[in-house]
Amino acid sequence: MKKKYSLLIFALLGSLIKAQNNDLIQKFPKLDFQISTPCSLYENTSFKQLAKGQVSIVESLVCASSRNDSANASIYNINIYRESGGAKEFIYDYAAKLQGAGISYQRVVVDGIPMLEYTIIQNGVRAKALVFYRYDKSYLLQVTSRSNLSEKFNLMKKSFKKLN
């Protein structure tokens, strides 16, 4: 009888550990997308306060995974801004700014949306980002990490889906 309960407890713990390692699928209907990250995105009120008056920010979301392990920690950041003009002008201008700053980029398509993908260094840590324009808004999706950055970024990138 003890052995049976021990096996049951072991199986339950194993399923909990597995569930914690799976990325969370998070839907944001008002922002028209869903995405998977290993941590729960929440409103970045600090960034919104800093940006207030400088840019027209619609939303800012952030989360951190592996917080207690600086070598493996990652920050997931999504910023959405209200824009004027069209998609082609926005992408062209953003690409020109990247190029002017000496940052190389790639044109990619994710879920039917043309995007720019690039890598930068922020405070000594590499970050990979996607930027795109949709419905009078620009979106910046970024992952910052000291380890396995490309793997973490690509998982997030592949999980991005527009809802409409």
CA angle 65, 15, 1 (to 5 degrees): 145
β-bridge mates for residue 52, sequence order: 55
Alpha-helical (H) ranges within the chain are: 2-21, 45-51, 87-100, 149-159
Q: Tell me the two tokens of residue 83.
A: 């824009």
How many secondary structure helices (H) and strands (E) does the chain include?
4, 10
**pLDDT at position 12:** 32
CA angle 155, 159, 164 (to 5 degrees): 160
Residue-wise pLDDT tens for the chain (164 aa)? 444 333 333 333 333 333 334 578 999 988 889 999 999 999 888 888 887 777 788 898 999 888 777 788 899 999 999 888 787 889 999 999 999 999 999 999 999 999 999 999 988 999 999 999 998 899 999 999 998 999 999 999 999 999 88
**pLDDT at position 94:** 94
User: pTM to 2 decimals?
Assistant: 0.81
Place of tokens 């800012």: 60
The topology (CATH level 3) of 23-162 is: Protein Transport Mog1p; Chain A (3.40.1000)
Question: Is residue 96 within 8 Å of residue 85, measured between CB atoms?
Answer: no
**How distant, in Å, are the alpha carbons of 5, 11, 23, 106, 161 from that of 109?**
50, 41, 22, 10, 12
Domain residue ranges in the chain: 23-162
Question: Is residue 75 within 8 Å of residue 61, measured between CB atoms?
Answer: no
**pLDDT at position 35:** 94
